[in-house]
Amino acid sequence: MNFVVNLDVDDLDKATRFYVAAFGLRVGRRFGDFGVELLGGPAPIYVLFKPQGSHAASTTAQTRNYARHWTPMHLDVVVDDIEAAVQTAVTAGAKLEQRPTTQPCGKLALLADPFGHGFCFVEFIGRGYDEIADQ
């Protein structure tokens, strides 16, 4: 089994520039005006053009809004140097929502991309998640 990550955006060029600059990814395939494949991480990321206000699904009245929003699923990006990663992402256009804090498993910083998607940087310390695992 493999995973791919799909991110809806309302500006494909801006999203491509952001993710390349913030995460050091590179452009793979392009799919016309519809999408761009970004490579270099553990899973490919596909940024997909979906206009602001378009319907999120045919079965819902909910529409896309690229202001900061909450979703129960987000990306955690594991990094070796959280301070450097935060600085790189903020310079690329991310919004820092919570400065790095130290947790039992590592350092954690909360950010949002220019399209309202939240993500976290994690710098593991010690045994990482094993520090907090029950088993």
Q: What is the pLDDT of residues 9-21, one digit of tens each?
A: 999 999 999 999 9
* Superfamily for domain range 1-53: 2,3-Dihydroxybiphenyl 1,2-Dioxygenase, domain 1 (3.10.180.10)
Query: Which alpha helices (H) appear in 1-135, and where do they start and end?
Result: 12-23, 82-92
Angle 64-90-107 from CA coordinates, rounded to 5°? 100
Query: Which alpha helices (H) appear in 10-105, and where do they start and end?
Result: 12-23, 82-92
Q: At 130, is the pLDDT very low, low, confident or very high (cuts 50, 70, 90)?
A: confident
Domain with CATH 3.10.180.10 in the chain: 1-53, 68-135
Q: What is the pLDDT of residues 66-120, one digit of tens each?
A: 999 888 888 999 999 999 999 999 999 999 999 999 999 999 999 999 999 999 9
* Superfamily for domain range 68-135: 2,3-Dihydroxybiphenyl 1,2-Dioxygenase, domain 1 (3.10.180.10)
CA distances from 132 to 57, 90, 129 (A): 37, 29, 6
CB 100 within 8 A of CB 84: no
